[in-house]
Each structure stands twice: as structure tokens, then as C-alpha cells.
């Protein structure tokens, strides 16, 4: 058996350690390398990739001739994207510079002298692998951290977070220096400036915070973003990478639809859709080529809106993500989420902070031993490999007082919270009765009979409506006159008006408690929810039986 190193997965600082290419300063991009138009802002002092992306547009794009919305007076007519270098070319450059591996004697002084005039810092040990120079991708850009950093810059700038916003006094001075945006200049008389079109005022920030605070997700989909809201300072804090991931891809188009001007909202929504398409479970060559051609347009739209200080290396790197996905496939196998989670697991195993590595090693050995032994336990013993699900429904069988249960009543389930007795309303009664009949396999033959009777006089949409409203009455009459089975006759009568209600219910591995929270937002008077109501309002679906 032989092992080959396919590529490395790391965050951006570790990218530099593994590849030998510096990820700081003007030459931070490992694809553009020295062929970059990044520059240092005169007032902000930081490196900016503002107006570095028109060269990636099609030659016929009118944005290449735009002198007003990018760097003032600059056109990018004939500039081409930087040429992508092969592994052989990169290795030849490293050897021609005389870079050394850090394990070699005198490497610090030699590499330090070369690094003053080059983006290279060392020769990576991976070049010793004979096949390394033939790999199309040797080091992956981490989509997880790039997405989080892009979101942080966008959100902090929109919310005008002090110390984190990319829009400040120095940024406005740089706008005067490089751009033609007189409305964003600092007033020399008062030394103040107005909010940009991309920033929210106090009332809008308050609306956004209130909306996020009340937001509820399906169980297990995302964490509670409401805990990140600071209603006094009108900002959000403590958002993890996955929180930013959810907000970036799912909430930005919704959250800012009514709060930002349409051009700003469109640009942010397109960026959100780009990341959402990029991390699809399956990707095709055509889709990635489309993303590769669209992302320069999206970044150019952002450049027409945000100040030059907004565009650091993280706003530039998405230009290369679709190219990597086109070569290496789905992002899920090349980002840091699984490794970050495992690192958290290792950190939680530390018991002696004076001996961190030893604590991790001992905990790892214990886990390996217990995992090995667990395969020899009896079946009734729960182990890591067959542990109880997070939302265990109890695995209960058919309801005891029903003999010869219908299949729809045999699903295992477990109620949550304190029960309460009450009566169903007329609407709830009809919804529960229709749902049971239309989703019970034993009733499927009678549904077909009913459909055959009404199909000739109705269209398909009218048939569906008639099934929901008229079938229960028809089936009750039909059962009374033509069916001998007493259980079917009893089922046709309908449910009891008296019911037991619970705050939530566990069924099929799902926690339906979140449905109550969503319902409360719509109806503050609703303080309890029954299973029948839950099925009708939350998980009611059209029957899968042929009708």
C-alpha cells in the first residue's frame, strides 16, 4: 500500500507556512503572485485590492472603460488576468532564487535576504515529493474562513461597528484621493461625513436587530442568532463561522431587502448566491465556469459601492474560488469545518494545562481503546457507534388501545412538556380529519374510487381541492353503506373533539418544538400546540399515493 498527498487544507496564515509563499502585504494572493495591481492606501496605510478585478472581465465589458466609478480616470482596456503558473514553473522559480528549506543550515539568513524582494519566504518540504510539481492544486484556499471574513467586513461596515467598520475618517480621505464620489467626502468645515448608501441608520439597525432576535430556524439547522444581538449597542457579536455561513448564504438577501438601496442589495444578494452555489453538494464543470465568469462582475459592483479600504485580500480571494472548485470538486472535502470541529474536540480533552499535548494524547488513547472495545458489547448497550439520537422519539410502538392499528397511527413519537386538555376548533377538526384520511395507505383504494367519480367533471386543481374538502364527507357516507370493516367505519367518523396538546413533539428524529416558536411569532395568542395542528400547519404534505 502506498500513500500520496493530494493537497493541503488550512486557513490563510497556515497557507503561507505550508506553501512558502507569503500571504501578507501586496503579494498576498498566491494565484496573482507578483502580477497584481494591489496598492497601499495613502491615508489608511493598509494594502487594498480596490480596482484589481476589471482585468478579469470580458474584453468587451463596458466596465473596463469606466473612468468614474473605480480609480478616478483609470481604464483597464487591454489588461489580462494574471497567468496561472504550473508546478514546474513555480519550482523552477524557487530554485533559481536559491530558496532553502527551513531545516537546512543557514536557511534563515538566505531566505530572509531573498524575501525582501520576493513573495517567497522559503522552499516548502513538499517539493521533495516527486509528483508535487504535477499537481494542479497543491494548497486549497479555505472557503470557510474566506466566507466568514467577507461577511464580517460586509456586516460590520453596514452596521457601522466602531473599530471594525471599513468606513471611517481615513477611508473617506482615501475616497477623496482615489475615487470620484464627492457625496462621501469629509466636510472640511465640520470635519464630519454623511453615511454612505451601504450603511444603516439607527432606526434601520434597530429593525434588523429585532428581526434577527426573533428569528427561529429548524432544529439543528443553525444556532440561535438571537444570543448574538446586542439591542443596546445595536450590533451583533460572538458569531461563529457557521453563524456567518448561514447569514451570508440564507439571510442577507432577506435581511437587507427593505433596508438598503436596490443596487447595494442586488450586489450583496449576488455575492450571497455565489457562495451558496459554490458550496453545492455536487458541482458541474459548466456551473463552475459560470461562477468563474460571474464573480468578477459581482466584485466590480461592490467596488462601485464600498470604499477602497473595504477591499483587503479576503475580498479578492473569491475571484479564484470557482477555479479551484472547477479543478478539485465540491468544497465540502476541502474546507476547514471538519478540522476545526476536531480541534475543538481535542482542546476539550485538555485536563492539565501545563501538559497540553500529553492530555490530548492520553485522551486520544482512551477513546481508541473504548471505541475498539465497544464493538464487542451486547446489542442492548449504547455505544458511540449506536448511541441514541439527539432527538430520540422513544421508539414506541402502536397506540395500545387501538387493535389492528392503521399505519398512520403507528409512528413512534414522544411528547415534550406538560400536557393540557382542550377542544378542537372546527377548522382544526376538519384539517386533522382530512390529513389522516389522505395520508393513510389503507384508505388509498377509496380515494381512487372518489377521484374516478369526480375526474370527468373537474380539472386536476379542482380534484385536489375537492379531495381536501369533500372526501371526508363522501367517505363517511360510503363507509356507512358499503364497508363492512368496523375499524374503517370508525375512522370515517372522524377524530374526537377533545384532544391533548403539548408544547412540542419528537417524531422521526425531528424536534418539532421549533414550530411552536415560529407559530408564536405569527399568533401571540397561541400558547400550546397539538400534534394534529402541528401536522396541519407545519408538516402537512400531499399524499404520495396514486390518486
pLDDT, averaged across the chain: 87
In the predicted structure, residue 119 carries a pLDDT above the cut 50: yes
pLDDT (mean) for 341-359: 92
How many Cα atoms sit within 13 Å of 383 on the Cβ side? 16
Which residues contact residue 124 at a Cβ distance below 8 angstroms, ignoring those fewer than 6 apart? 18, 19, 20, 101
In the numeric block, which cell numbers belong to residue 466? 375537492
In the predicted structure, residue 490 carries a pLDDT above the cut 70: yes
pLDDT tens digit string along 81-107? 999 999 999 999 999 999 999 999 999
In the predicted structure, residue 527 carries a pLDDT above the cut 80: no
Helix (H, G, I), strand (E, B) or coil at 442: helix
Residue, of 13 and 399, whose pLDDT is higher: 13
In the predicted structure, residue 547 carries a pLDDT above the cut 60: no
- % the chain with pLDDT above 90: 63
pLDDT (mean) for 281-297: 95
Ranges 22-36, 175-189, 422-436, 500-514: which has the least confidence: 500-514
Helix (H, G, I), strand (E, B) or coil at 10: coil
Q: Tell me how far apart the alpha carbons of residues 238 and 545 are, in angstroms, rounded to a whole number.
A: 47
Q: Tell me how far apart the alpha carbons of residues 494 and 378 are, in angstroms, rounded to a whole number.
A: 45
In the predicted structure, residue 340 carries a pLDDT above the cut 50: yes
pLDDT tens digit string along 193-243? 999 999 999 999 999 999 999 888 877 888 999 999 999 999 999 999 999
User: What is the pLDDT, as a whole number, of residue 391?
Assistant: 77
Q: What angle do CA 414, 518, 251 make, to 5 degrees?
A: 125
Which residues contact residue 3 at a Cβ distance below 8 angstroms, ignoring those fewer than 6 apart? none
Q: What are phi and psi of 253, to 5 degrees?
A: -60, -30
User: What is the pLDDT, as a whole number, of residue 194?
Assistant: 93
pLDDT confidence tier of residue 529, bands split at 50, 70 and 90: very low
Q: Tell me how far apart the alpha carbons of residues 213 and 216 are, in angstroms, rounded to a whole number.
A: 9
Q: Tell me how far apart the alpha carbons of residues 541 and 535 are, in angstroms, rounded to a whole number.
A: 9
Q: What's CA 67's distance to the chain center, in Å? A: 36
Q: Tell me how far apart the alpha carbons of residues 341 and 154 are, in angstroms, rounded to a whole number.
A: 25
Q: What's CA 108's distance to the chain center, in Å? A: 42
Sort 368 into a burial class: Cβ within 10 Å, 0-12 / 13-18 / 19+. exposed
pLDDT (mean) for 387-413: 66
Q: Tell me how far apart the alpha carbons of residues 271 and 294 are, in angstroms, rounded to a whole number.
A: 10
464: enclosing H helix or E strand: helix 460-482
| Domain chopping of the chain, boundaries | 8-140, 143-333, 349-387, 407-537
Q: Strand 504-507 relative to strand 510-511: parallel, antiparallel, unpaired?
A: antiparallel
Q: Tell me how far apart the alpha carbons of residues 482 and 489 are, in angstroms, rounded to a whole number.
A: 10
pLDDT confidence tier of residue 383, bands split at 50, 70 and 90: confident
In the numeric block, which cell numbers belong to residue 36? 497584481
User: What's the predicted TM-score (pTM) here?
Assistant: 0.81
Sort 463 into a burial class: Cβ within 10 Å, 0-12 / 13-18 / 19+. middle
User: What is the pLDDT, as a whole number, of residue 264?
Assistant: 97
pLDDT tens digit string along 428-437? 888 889 988 9
pLDDT confidence tier of residue 513, bands split at 50, 70 and 90: low
pLDDT confidence tier of residue 517, bands split at 50, 70 and 90: low
Residues in a beta bridge with 192: 187
In the numeric block, which cell numbers belong to residue 172? 473617506
pLDDT (mean) for 526-546: 39
Amino acid at each position: 500500500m502506498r500513500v500520496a498527498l493530494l493537497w493541503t487544507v488550512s486557513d490563510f496564515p497556515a497557507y503561507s507556512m505550508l506553501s512558502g509563499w507569503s500571504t501578507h502585504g501586496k503579494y498576498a494572493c498566491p494565484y496573482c503572485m507578483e502580477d497584481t495591481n494591489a496598492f497601499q492606501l495613502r491615508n489608511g496605510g493598509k494594502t487594498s485590492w480596490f480596482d484589481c478585478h476589471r482585468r478579469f472581465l470580458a474584453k468587451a465589458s463596458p466596465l473596463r472603460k469606466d473612468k468614474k466609478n473605480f480609480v478616478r480616470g483609470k481604464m483597464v482596456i487591454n489588461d489580462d488576468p494574471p497567468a496561472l503558473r504550473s508546478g514546474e514553473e513555480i519550482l523552477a522559480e524557487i530554485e533559481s532564487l536559491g530558496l532553502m528549506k527551513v531545516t537546512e543550515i543557514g536557511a534563515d539568513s538566505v531566505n530572509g535576504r531573498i524575501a525582501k524582494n520576493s513573495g517567497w519566504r522559503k522552499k516548502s518540504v513538499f517539493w521533495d515529493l516527486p509528483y508535487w510539481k504535477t499537481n494542479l492544486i497543491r494548497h486549497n484556499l479555505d472557503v470557510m474562513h474566506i466566507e466568514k471574513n467577507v461577511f464580517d467586513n460586509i456586516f460590520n461596515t453596514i452596521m457601522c461597528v466602531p473599530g471594525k467598520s471599513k468606513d471611517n475618517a481615513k477611508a473617506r480621505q482615501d475616497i477623496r484621493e482615489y475615487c470620484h464620489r464627492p457625496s462621501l467626502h469629509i466636510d472640511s468645515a465640520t470635519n464630519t461625513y454623511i453615511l454612505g448608501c451601504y450603511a444603516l441608520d439607527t432606526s434601520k439597525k434597530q429593525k434588523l436587530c429585532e428581526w434577527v432576535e426573533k428569528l427561529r430556524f429548524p432544529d439543528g439547522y443553525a444556532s440561535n442568532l438571537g444570543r448574538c444581538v446586542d439591542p443596546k449597542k445595536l450590533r451583533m457579536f460572538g458569531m461563529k463561522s457557521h453563524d456567518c455561513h448561514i447569514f451570508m448564504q440564507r439571510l442577507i438577501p432577506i435581511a437587507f431587502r427593505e433596508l438598503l438601496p436596490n443596487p447595494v442589495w442586488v450586489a450583496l444578494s449576488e455575492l450571497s448566491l455565489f457562495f451558496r452555489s459554490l458550496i453545492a453538494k455536487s458541482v458541474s464543470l459548466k456551473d463552475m465556469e459560470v461562477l468563474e465568469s460571474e464573480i468578477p462582475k459581482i466584485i466590480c459592483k461592490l467596488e462601485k459601492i464600498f470604499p477602497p479600504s473595504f477591499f483587503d485580500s479576503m475580498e479578492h480571494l473569491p475571484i479564484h474560488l470557482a477555479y479551484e472548485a472547477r479543478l478539485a470538486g465540491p468544497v465540502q472535502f476541502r474546507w476547514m469545518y471538519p478540522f476545526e470541529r476536531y480541534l475543538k474536540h481535542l482542546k476539550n480533552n485538555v485536563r492539565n494545562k501545563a501538559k497540553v499535548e500529553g492530555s490530548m494524547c492520553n485522551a486520544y488513547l482512551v477513546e481508541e481503546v473504548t471505541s475498539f472495545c465497544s464493538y464487542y458489547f451486547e446489542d442492548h448497550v449504547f455505544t458511540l457507534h449506536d448511541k441514541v439520537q439527539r432527538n430520540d422519539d422513544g421508539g414506541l410502538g402502536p397506540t395500545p388501545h387501538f387493535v389492528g392499528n392503521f399505519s398512520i397511527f403507528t409512528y413512534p413519537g414522544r411528547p415534550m412538556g406538560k400536557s393540557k386538555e382542550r377542544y378542537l376548533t372546527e377548522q382544526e377538526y376538519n384539517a386533522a380529519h382530512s390529513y389522516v384520511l389522505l395520508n393513510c395507505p389503507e384508505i388509498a383504494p377509496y380515494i381512487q374510487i372518489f377521484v374516478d367519480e369526480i375526474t370527468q367533471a373537474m380539472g386536476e386543481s379542482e380534484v385536489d381541492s375537492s379531495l381536501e374538502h369533500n372526501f371526508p364527507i363522501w367517505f363517511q357516507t360510503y363507509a356507512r353503506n358499503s364497508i363492512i370493516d368496523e375499524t374503517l367505519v370508525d375512522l370515517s367518523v372522524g377524530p374526537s373533539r377533545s384532544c391533548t396538546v403539548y408544547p412540542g413533539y419528537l417524531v422521526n428524529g425531528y424536534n418539532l418544538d421549533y414550530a411552536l416558536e415560529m407559530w408564536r411569532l405569527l399568533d401571540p395568542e397561541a400558547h400550546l400546540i397539538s400534534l394534529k395542528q402541528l401536522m396541519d400547519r407545519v408538516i402537512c404534505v400531499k399524499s404520495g399515493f396514486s390518486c
